[in-house]
Structure 1
């Protein structure tokens, strides 16, 4: 049996689109360091070749570049200018540039990147900050997604959609173009990074792509777990995610109120050295609370007075059933119900098969486990077993809507499906002796 009887799959699927591209800096490899120090870098060689073009040829070459790429990106000439400004070290050794030469030089140090060419998966879902015009009984939402392109580099992208009164999910059309934000690095050092990223006003939500910008993130911004956080009536969203450098991981935090401007910062403390942290949607007993997995096997509850620092914690859930003997982890932030906190979990079983389960935690003291599913809520369906990583179903967050849980989930690290769960039936199916 691949699913619980109270879980209903929807026909909606969200698949990666390799035609969606952003422009990224291209850095030519430098020459070996043991060469004569007076030798010029490859960057200087490229600039020299651009400067050697006569005016007519340079005009024609820039026109050819624009003809090929202008319809694929916004403000392409400005992007060329910005990249040229970033290359001042290579440009400063040369004569004064014409505007055409400068734009053309900038183009040579850029490349297109198909950010979701390989996969679009591990979604989380939150209410949209703008519910104006939403039909009665419906809810507009924002979906965050992990996109993977060339080199298995992960970035963060978004979709919007609507949940109808009966739980049916529809996704808004995806914008044809995609864009990176403007960056402002506030701090950077051994203690961590803090960066503000801002997208242009008026861009469609689905255009916005947050690509790795720091050394710690250089191989990926992975598995963002967004949550709508209650804070004295203030609209604020947080997301924990994994920063991957290609050698090491750490947990980081995103904060936003509008999904236009975002602040990315490093989490500190012993618990932040691993992945899979998920923030409760409000304070408990006046303190922030987090579900984490410090030991790669069990789930811990941690409290902190400081949103940025997470130490210690107590184990509250350990592998118990065969489908989770290898490890368990959270599948997003706990969801507040009348009867307690609903925590979706993932379990890893034989042949590294991932399934999704659920537990119920006490509302006032979430260290108390009130119930737990003996059998998975969702296993990979036979039609969902194949993909980039076979035999995996996974989510980074679900959301309550009336008497249902709206449940986006990833299939084999490749694409996304959607399901709904009847809350009453789910709670009734839990083993209360857990």
Structure 2
């Protein structure tokens, strides 16, 4: 689009394979597990201390809190530690190390970024903006997680990223999270588990209940119901799966933003947390919440989920409900429209849909607002993040897939008061793969999960060939003129 001024900043986020976490590395065979423990128990205390010291000297420089991670993995295998004698801390750590492994979060790719204003704007010069960028990091086995970066847009429109820490840290999971009963029951109904057994479990619980209260109620039902039937086991498994899929986590405030990693926790996201679209949603009363819709992937099926946070320290992960929760690429509008939440979606893997709801966690009816129109988007279209409010309408960044699975970024403009009305859309791509950026993990792709407007510029982060990420500034006036023209 030669008529639209686009300035690419001298920023390139390249995967750094040295940023690693410690994960459990536990064999599925109980026989092997016990054999490994036996070898650790056979060492003398002197051999144990010497081996542990050498191991910590080798691996500690790459981690914050390595010993805590090793002790956590020791606790995972503790039921198989076949000795009654007390073990030294050194031996426990060594056993934990035997069942641990490093995982390089972004060894394959660092891509699909989204931008939101930072909740802390203290000290930012007038006319500037501090931001948070989320990124999809992918490592061995194509497992995706969420990473963060921070940066500043200065009053002159220059974009700078803050230094990136060499360390990464997993959050602490809340062992006893709370759930909202209404949403929990709706999801159980959708899953087909709303029978007498689930009623027996859920009825005694309050509108807000804890994981421990749910576990006690499940245990009571299991003890009371005789005989134990397949229906009972299926119902309890469904409740357990849903509880595991809704969790809370917290990072210490002392951690830099780039040190915070959201890694798959539940079984439905065991193969990845993909394409998180973060957006700051401002309510009618002025309060705000950061939401991120993402795709949970377990290696076979996908499930749209949502993250909530107000401070990027405490995060709540929730399943979404309703007939509209299908496929990928859901993106919330940053405010209600006439008192109602709105969301972009793609139910059929081809067209762009719009949904309205009174509840950001429940979505049902949807309608098509954009269909493929040009050859560069003739296979399918979707969004590249949440709509951005401008004086001319809702600016929607789109992605279009064309011949040879080439992904381009386009744009459309929706009416501010009635976003089902399309004011205009670009006939040519705004940004498309070119030159060496066409080569990468997945070639011929440019893609974004969300930009923001600052002043009269659209600040657009985007990934190239699903491997590396850069940032461009687009003249908002030029873009709106092209869309309205």
* 1:387 and 2:452 aligned: no
Give the whole-Å Cα distance in 2 for the aligned partners of 1:8 and 1:99.
56
- Which of 93, 97, 108 is residue 118 of structure 1 equivalent to? 108
- Which of 64, 73, 78 is residue 74 of structure 1 equivalent to? 64
In the other structure, the counterpart of 2:206 is none
**Aligned 8 A contact 2:3 2:478 in 1:** no
**Aligned 8 A contact 2:292 2:307 in 1:** yes
In the other structure, the counterpart of 2:12 is 13
- Which of 326, 335, 355 is residue 408 of structure 2 equivalent to? 355
The C-alpha deviation readout for 1:47-66, integer Å capped at 9, x for no partner, is 11111001100010110111
For 1:320-359, list aligned pairs within 5 A.
Answer: 320-359=373-412
For residue 163 of structure 1, report the CA deviation from its aligned partner: 0.7
**Aligned 8 A contact 1:163 1:170 in 2:** yes
In the other structure, the counterpart of 1:143 is 133
The C-alpha deviation readout for 1:82-127, integer Å capped at 9, x for no partner, is 2212222222665432221111111111111110001000000000
Give the whole-Å Cα distance in 1 for the aligned partners of 2:290 and 2:275.
15
Give the whole-Å Cα distance in 2 for the aligned partners of 1:157 and 1:180.
11
- Which of 390, 393, 398 is residue 451 of structure 2 equivalent to? 398
Q: Could you tell me the TM-score, scaled by structure 2's length?
A: 0.85
Give the whole-Å Cα distance in 1 for the aligned partners of 2:78 and 2:465.
44
Structure 1: runs of 5 or more not aligned: 31-39
**Aligned 8 A contact 1:395 1:409 in 2:** yes
Stretch deviating more after TM superposition (351-360 or 160-169) = 160-169
For residue 191 of structure 1, report the CA deviation from its aligned partner: 4.3
Give the whole-Å Cα distance in 2 for the aligned partners of 1:171 and 1:119.
18
* 1:240 and 2:293 aligned: yes
Give the whole-Å Cα distance in 2 for the aligned partners of 1:4 and 1:103.
62
* 1:165 and 2:165 aligned: no
In the other structure, the counterpart of 2:271 is 219
For residue 184 of structure 1, report the CA deviation from its aligned partner: 2.2
- Which of 95, 99, 108 is residue 109 of structure 1 equivalent to? 99
**Aligned 8 A contact 1:4 1:377 in 2:** no
- Which of 303, 322, 336 is residue 250 of structure 1 equivalent to? 303
Give the whole-Å Cα distance in 2 for the aligned partners of 1:419 and 1:29.
47
The C-alpha deviation readout for 1:250-290, integer Å capped at 9, x for no partner, is 10000011111111111112222211000000111211110
Structure 2: runs of 5 or more not aligned: 178-210, 212-238
In the other structure, the counterpart of 1:55 is 45
**Aligned 8 A contact 2:21 2:63 in 1:** yes
RMSD: 1.5
* 1:304 and 2:294 aligned: no
For residue 189 of structure 1, report the CA deviation from its aligned partner: 3.4
Give the whole-Å Cα distance in 2 for the aligned partners of 1:346 and 1:396.
10
**Aligned 8 A contact 1:167 1:406 in 2:** no
* 1:134 and 2:120 aligned: no
In the other structure, the counterpart of 2:261 is 209
**Aligned 8 A contact 1:4 1:376 in 2:** no
In the other structure, the counterpart of 1:414 is 467
Give the whole-Å Cα distance in 2 for the aligned partners of 1:276 and 1:54.
56
The structure-2 alpha-carbon separation of the partners of 1:326 and 1:393, relative to structure 1 and needing over 3 Å to count, comes to same
Q: Could you tell me the TM-score, scaled by structure 1's length?
A: 0.94
Aligned length: 422
**Aligned 8 A contact 1:373 1:431 in 2:** no
> In structure 2, the residue corresponding to 1:162 is in which secondary structure?
strand
Give the whole-Å Cα distance in 2 for the aligned partners of 1:26 and 1:95.
25
Moved over 4 A (4+): none
Give the whole-Å Cα distance in 2 for the aligned partners of 1:111 and 1:337.
48
The C-alpha deviation readout for 1:315-334, integer Å capped at 9, x for no partner, is 00000111100000000000
Give the whole-Å Cα distance in 1 for the aligned partners of 2:250 and 2:166.
20
The C-alpha deviation readout for 1:143-179, integer Å capped at 9, x for no partner, is 0000001111000000000111222111100012111
In the other structure, the counterpart of 2:240 is 189
* 1:281 and 2:334 aligned: yes
In the other structure, the counterpart of 1:293 is 346
